């Protein structure tokens, strides 16, 4: 039997607080429209789908920086998404990958030139600089960079790498102002950390407890691609869990198959390809997931690179909302908020 979804999460989906007015230093892109009157949605709960800021407003600022998170909050995102990896001395930092070359200036740091190492990954051998080979003090000397061409680069090498503690402090500060923002936390490659004696579950859960997120009313989802990690979290916590699903063609390449009827989590984090076919029309995935009692959160909608056959992310977002998804990850949260409001 599926565990009951956290009441605080459902309340947020139903009536998220209005976003705080952005400061002059935060880029808001297109200002989101006011939310439409309450209506029935084709979601699992009947409430409006949530907008999850993918690595913050990562289309506008280097991902997983305070500026990216603050911008997402100002744009009206319901949740911000910190991906978590760990340093050699056990500090949780917000990075999407274990390697550092794509999103930091480490390749230009001569003092770290000899710290490159080759590791085996699911996609073959890779030589890079790896987060868990560095202390937090060393990570603090790095600056963040935008990794995708065609996106703003003027903030490269100006923004810090942030810790999970700093991300939590940000949403707690928002809560004190009456603006409740949730955390959609992804543990990255937890099996690697377990293999080196640095499991991620306890540090994540202990960190949230120490900060008092529950007492502050901060909704939290824990997401991961690895079922054993989610099973461990389920044993230690009643937080709602999202089983992420590798999209095609990678799922077939890696021999991964998913059975919605066997899922023990509260929901799934599905690639867009599961929900919308190559013709842009909805599949039966959402209906089957909902029948199994599962939420469907979908990744990732990007204004600058919508998934085929769409040429405009607004059309893709509308198709996903029409399909009944319960949440969307978006690199440009303002667009998702705006499309949802106009529905």
Given a cut of 50, the residues of the chain with pLDDT beneath it are: 1-36
What integer pLDDT is reported at residue 252 of this predicted model? 76
What integer pLDDT is reported at residue 7 of this predicted model? 31
Whole-number Cα distances in Å, 229 to 7, 129, 199, 271, 311: 23, 24, 9, 20, 37
What integer pLDDT is reported at residue 329 of this predicted model? 98
Of 321, 319, 315, the residue nearest 303 (C-alpha): 315
What integer pLDDT is reported at residue 22 of this predicted model? 36
What integer pLDDT is reported at residue 208 of this predicted model? 98
298: how many CB neighbours lie within 10 A of its CB?
A: 29
| Cis peptide bond N-terminal to 309, omega within 30 | yes
Point out which residues pair with 184 in neighbouring strands: 221
What integer pLDDT is reported at residue 248 of this predicted model? 78
How far apart (Å, rounded) are the C-alpha atoms in residues 46 and 340?
14
What integer pLDDT is reported at residue 20 of this predicted model? 36
What integer pLDDT is reported at residue 251 of this predicted model? 79
How far apart (Å, rounded) are the C-alpha atoms in residues 322 and 52?
17
DSSP-based three-state secondary structure for 245 = strand
pTM of the predicted protein model: 0.89
How far apart (Å, rounded) are the C-alpha atoms in residues 170 and 79?
12
What integer pLDDT is reported at residue 21 of this predicted model? 35
């Amino acid at each position: 039997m599926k565990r009951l979804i956290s009441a605080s999460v459902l309340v947020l989906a139903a009536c998220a607080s209005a976003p705080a007015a952005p400061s002059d230093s935060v880029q808001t892109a297109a200002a989101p429209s006011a939310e439409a009157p309450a209506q029935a949605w084709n979601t699992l709960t009947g409430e409006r789908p949530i907008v999850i800021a993918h690595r913050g407003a990562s289309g506008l600022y280097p991902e997983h920086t305070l500026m990216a998170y603050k911008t997402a909050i100002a744009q009206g995102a319901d949740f911000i998404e910190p991906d978590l990896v760990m340093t050699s001395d056990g500090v949780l930092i917000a990075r999407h990958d274990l390697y550092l070359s794509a999103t930091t200036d480490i390749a230009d740091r001569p003092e770290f030139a000899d710290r490159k190492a080759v590791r085996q990954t699911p996609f073959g051998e890779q030589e890079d600089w790896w987060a868990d080979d560095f202390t937090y003090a060393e990570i603090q000397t790095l600056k963040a960079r935008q990794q995708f061409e065609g996106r703003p680069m003027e903030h490269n090498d100006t923004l810090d790498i942030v810790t999970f503690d700093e991300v939590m402090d940000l949403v707690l500060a928002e809560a004190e102002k009456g603006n409740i923002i949730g955390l959609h936390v992804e543990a990255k490659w937890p099996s690697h950390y377990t293999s080196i004696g640095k499991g991620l579950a306890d540090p994540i859960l202990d960190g949230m407890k120490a900060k008092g997120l529950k007492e502050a009313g901060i909704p939290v989802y824990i997401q991961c691609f690895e079922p054993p990690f989610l099973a461990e979290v389920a044993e230690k916590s009643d937080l709602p869990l999202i089983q992420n699903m590798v999209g095609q063609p990678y799922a077939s390449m890696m021999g991964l198959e998913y059975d919605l009827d066997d899922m023990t989590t509260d929901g799934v984090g599905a690639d867009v390809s599961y929900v919308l076919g190559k013709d842009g029309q909805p599949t039966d995935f959402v209906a089957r997931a909902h029948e199994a009692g599962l939420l469907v959160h979908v990744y990732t909608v990007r204004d600058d690179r919508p998934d085929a056959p769409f040429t405009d992310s607004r059309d893709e977002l509308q198709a996903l909302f029409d399909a009944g998804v319960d949440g969307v990850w978006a690199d440009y949260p303002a667009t998702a908020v705006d499309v949802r409001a106009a529905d």
